[in-house]
Structure 1
Amino acid sequence: MARPAPASVRAANIVSFLTAHPSRGFTITELVRHLGMNIASAHATLAVLCDCGFVIRDPEHRTYVLGPALAATGHAALEQHPAIEAAIEQAESLAAELDAEVGVTAVAGRDVIFLARRGPEPLAQSIGYPGDRSPLLAPIGAIFLAWADDDVIDTWLERAGLPPELAAYYREVLADVRTRGFSVPLPPISSPAVTKAMSRVRSEPTDDDAVRRLTEVLQQTQEMLVPLGGLADSDEIVFKTVAAPVFDPIGRVLLSLSVTGPEHPVPVADVLDLGRRVAQSASIATRQARGRAPAPRTTTRAS
């Protein structure tokens, strides 16, 4: 693999950070602090981004925000990825039908990025805002890994530094997700400890200590994902979301549709019905974007 050019990394980090914080601008001092750059390198990178229109500087407040050129980039990306528009349309339909918050996410390199949300404003913490990024660390992003090759799954588990028993458990969960066609993250995946660690990662995305702290928190419990096969239909669970995959033309998971759950226990039978409904909408988006689900797969490499 080619080594990334430092200037390119700086530019990507700046654009990603500003995308994740669209409600305000940042001074160069703030960007340097959040992104771990030296001020000379940041100044040079911002100058190029401003010249291209990808970033603009407010001369009065000396802050930087995303530039109008990225609007054209966004429109071009939507044209090249019709699955995104199809998924958002399905999210709107689901939100209206279920009166629930529905999100669309994608994998962006080593992160999961939140693309869109539809539906009512949730009473509890939202699933996120467009532009939010979460590191692709187990169990985060399970819906994107369930149909992946074994070596990709290995990397996902290894990046999270999981002990063998927890890695084996998540392999079991991925097999259950493939069988059912949807995943069911539980509330601990957005517990106060995880939320605090994630907030630090989003504020300081290049800080290795912030990512390390998040991995430590994620290792503290396996009750973030659940294989539903071991539960009776009459059992009740509280779930964070139900998520289903949108596949690309070669059978990879390109996007995820997720419906936020209520804050009270729900019978497993109802969770299964919801999962099948979300998977149906994801299948419609897949077909509209000329994607196709991969061939059935029942095993993964042993831990």
Structure 2
Amino acid sequence: MARPAPASARATDIVSFLTAHPSRGFTISELVTHLGMNIASAHATLAVLCDSGFVVRDPVHRTYVLGPALAVTGFATLEQHPAIGAAVEQAEVLGDELGTEISVMAAAGRDVIFLARRGPVARAQVLGYPGDRTPMLAPIGAVFLAWAEDEAVSGWLERATLTPALRELYRRVLGEIRDRGYSVPLASIAAPAVIDAIAKLRDEPTDADAEHRLAEVLAKTDEMLLSFESLTGSDKIVVKTVAAPVFDPMGRVLLSLSITGPDHAIAVEDVIELGRRLVQSATIATRQARGRIPGRDLPPTGTTSAGRRR
């Protein structure tokens, strides 16, 4: 893999940070603090971004915000990735039908990026608004890794510095996700310690210590992905979300649609029904965008384990 050019890395860090904080502008001093840049390098990078219209400087407050040139980039992106519009449309349908928050997320390099929200806003939010990024540290981003090659899965697990037991568990759960077509993050994925570590990383996204802290918290937190192996349909659990993939024309997971779970325990059979309904919408979005759903090994007909076909 080619080594990233420092100037390019600075430019992408600035644009990503401003995208994730669209409600205000930032001075160069604030950007330097949040992104760990040298002020001279930041000044030179911002000058280039301003010249191109990707960033605009307020001459009175001396703050920087995203520029109008990026709007054109966004429109072009939607044309090149019709799955995004199709997924947002399905999120609107699901939000109206289920009366709950539906989110659209995408894989963005080593991160998961929040693209859109439809339906009622959940009381407890982990992700604030479009543009928020979270590193794909296991188990975060499981729905994007379930159909990935083994090398990518191994990197995902190793980056999170999990115990051998958790690594093996999450590998098994990835197989379950492929079988049933959706993942079920548990409430522990939004534990206070996890939320605090993610918030710290969003404020200082280039701080290696912040990502390391998140990895430590994830390794010490209880299991965060639901395995249906030992459950019956009448068992009750608290789920954070139910997430299903939207595939691109190459059969890769491009996006995820997710239903925000209620703040109380629900029966496993209700989780399964939500998952089936979600997969229907994700399949519609995939087909509308001419995506390809990869083949998968289906469980034998008549299986009675929770989460399997009956």
Given the two structures, how large is their TM-score scaled by the length of structure 1?
Answer: 0.97
Superposed, 1:218-229 pairs within 5 Å as 218-229=218-229
**Does the CA-based 8 Å contact 2:246-2:255 persist in structure 1?**
yes
What's 1:237 paired with? 237
CA pair 143-208 structure 1, distance change in 2 beyond 3 A: same
Question: Equivalent residue for 1:119?
Answer: 119
Task: Describe the SS at the equivalent of 2:84.
Answer: helix
Contact 1:127–1:260 (8 Å) recurs in 2: no
What is the rounded CA distance, in whole Å, between the counterparts of 1:254 and 1:193 in structure 2? 29
Q: Following superposition of structure 1 onto structure 2, how do residues 140-151 of structure 1 map, counting pairs within 5 Å?
A: 140-151=140-151
Alpha-carbon displacement from aligned partner over 1:146-192 (angstroms, at most 9, x marks no partner): 01011110000000011111100000110111111000001111111
Find out whether 1:138 has 2:138 as its counterpart: yes
| 2:171 corresponds to | 171
Counterpart residue type for residue 108 of structure 1: A
Which residue in the other structure is 2:76 paired with? Answer: 76
After superposition, the Cα gap between the structure-2 partners of 1:152 and 1:297, relative to the gap in structure 1 and judged at 3 Å, is farther
Superposed displacement of residue 297, structure 1:
4.7
For the pair 1:295 / 2:302, whether they are aligned, the reply is: no
Letter in 2 for 1:3: R
Aligned to 1:216: 216
Alignment of 1:246-261 (within 5 A): 246-261=246-261
**1:30 matched to which residue of 2?**
30
Deviation at 1:126, TM superposition (A): 5.2
Does the aligned pair in 2 maintain the 1:166–1:222 contact within 8 Å?
A: no
SS at match of 1:219: helix
> Residue type matched to 1:109 in 2?
G
Matching of residue 87 in structure 1 with residue 121 in structure 2: no
2:29 maps to a residue whose letter is T
Residue pair 2:126, 2:190 contacting (<8 A) in 1 also: no
**Amino acid across the alignment from 2:80:** Q
The separation in 2 between residues aligned to 1:102 and 1:229, in whole angstroms, is 27
How many residues get paired? 298
Other-structure match for 1:301: none
CA deviations on 1:180-235 (whole Å, 9 max, x unpaired) are 10000011111110000000101000101000100000001342111123210000
Q: Displacement, 1:127? A: 4.2
Q: Secondary structure at the match of 1:229?
A: coil
Matched residue SS, 1:170: helix
* Runs (5+) with no aligned partner, structure 2: 299-310
CA distance in 1 between counterparts of 2:121 and 2:36 reads 34
Partners of 2:211 and 2:202 in 1: CA distance: 10
User: Which deviates the most, 114-123 or 206-215?
Assistant: 114-123
State how far apart, in whole Å, the 1-side matches of 2:279 and 2:129 are. Answer: 22
Q: Deviations over 1:120-155 (max 9, x none)?
A: 122222543100000010000000000101111000
| RMSD of aligned alpha carbons | 0.9
